[in-house]
Amino acid sequence: MYTFLHQDAHSNARRGRLHTAHGTVELPAFMPVGTLGTVKGVEIRQLEQTGAEIILGNTYHLSLRPGEEVVRALGGLHPFTGWQGPILTDSGGFQIFSLAKMMRLDEEGALFRSHIDGSTIHLTPERAIKIQETLGSDIAMVLDHVVALPNERKVLEEAMLRSVRWAKRSFAASRAMRNHGQQIFAIVQGGLDVELRRQCAEALAEMDFPGYAVGGLSVGETPHEMYDTLDVTVPYLPKEKPRYLMGVGRPIDILNGIERGIDMFDCVMPTRNGRNAQAFTERGTLRLRNAQYQRDDRPLEETCPCPACKRSRGYLRHLFMAGEMLGPILLTIHNLTYYQRLVAGARAAIEKDQFTAFKREYEERIRQNHHEDAPES
């Protein structure tokens, strides 16, 4: 259930709360990615200390290993992982895009060949909902058809219409299962096509899902193309429901999404980049393998409370150069803390009707320090 609290006076940025069976999430929010039931290298207590309130798991990967029935036998995702807060599970739709060479698609669903042992898994809209119900997540995503961008309009339209049909089947399956408080979110597709996005959003809104996601972005388009797509999609999403931008992204992308009325985000960037010696800071991205940090006795950020910032940049660089596992762990924790501080700052700015200035100040700091957001590694 979503509670609207306030909209910024100068933008579409909004402040709200998402209520789930395992707690309330302050919105806008960033969800760390825990694909296999763990945010890589981060223990639960450390994850809580970053400020995270909700995490993400993946239906496809968890169904392969250890298997949803194993997770259920061990109490469901919350006891299994030790995370007691809300959990959102993706449906496996992104794997239709990312594992296309190992997948065969038809109207019924997607047939995958396991990258682990070569066995097959047939993921249908009903099966995806059933797996998520068995896992026991708080929010389950419908199975959708994700395609690369740019693409032909015919391909985009077919994928969008299939996603709508699959959403209807997913909704019916969830109603039949009576998922004990699990909320089902629909996913808007349509590529960069204005009319397809509108058509998809309106069709899904009629089904009255508890929440709505914008999918099929960050798959090859430019940032400005993504922003333009949000501009024409978000107005057709129900105002009284949470809005989730899937798989995005860079800090500046998150701020641009919030400005356009998005409430929820997830991305592997803070964790993956952290494992590759890239630290997000208020003044841009630091690449700690660079020799300039060898004798640098400053913390990553003076104001950051994370354990990485209790050490020097020189020490953190040493950990990476020496191949010590503590380096990726500390930098992952720092980056996750940075992302949570970013969305917390956005929430405070919205409450004061100052979000536009908050975003402008961020952009100006990045420009002045000549650092760009790091790409995914």
Mean pLDDT by 10 residues, the chain (377 residues): 97 98 98 96 97 96 95 98 97 85 91 86 95 97 94 97 98 84 96 98 97 95 97 98 96 98 98 98 95 98 97 98 98 98 98 98 88 40
Q: Is residue 377 part of a domain?
A: no
Q: What stretches of 136-268 show up as alpha helix (H) in DSSP?
A: 153-177, 194-206, 223-233, 251-259
284 plus 363 within the same structural domain: yes
pTM for the model stands at: 0.95
Given 240, 267, 294, the domain boundary residue is: 267
258 plus 299 within the same structural domain: no
Residues written for the chain = 377
Between CA 316 and CA 118 the distance in angstroms is 40
Q: pLDDT value at position 376?
A: 36
Q: pLDDT value at position 120?
A: 87
Q: Is residue 272 part of a domain?
A: no
Range of the domain at 198: 2-267
168 plus 240 within the same structural domain: yes
Between the alpha carbon of residue 94 and those of residues 13, 130, 146, 311, the distances in Å are: 27, 18, 6, 38
Beta-carbon-side half-sphere exposure of residue 226 (alpha carbons within 13 Å): 24
User: Domain with 89 in it: what CATH number?
Assistant: 3.20.20.105
Q: pLDDT value at position 94?
A: 85
Q: Is residue 374 part of a domain?
A: no
Active site residues: 90, 266
State the total domains in the chain: 2
How big is the CA angle at 176 (ends 73 and 164), to the nearest 5 degrees?
A: 110
How big is the CA angle at 292 (ends 288 and 295), to the nearest 5 degrees?
A: 95
Q: pLDDT value at position 370?
A: 63
Tokens 């994700």, located at residue: 146
257 plus 153 within the same structural domain: yes
43 plus 151 within the same structural domain: yes
Between CA 339 and CA 29 the distance in angstroms is 9
Between CA 50 and CA 336 the distance in angstroms is 6
Q: Read out DSSP for 85-99?
A: S-EEEE-SHHHHHHT
Q: pLDDT value at position 362?
A: 96
107 plus 20 within the same structural domain: yes
Closest CA to 170 of 120, 221, 133: 133
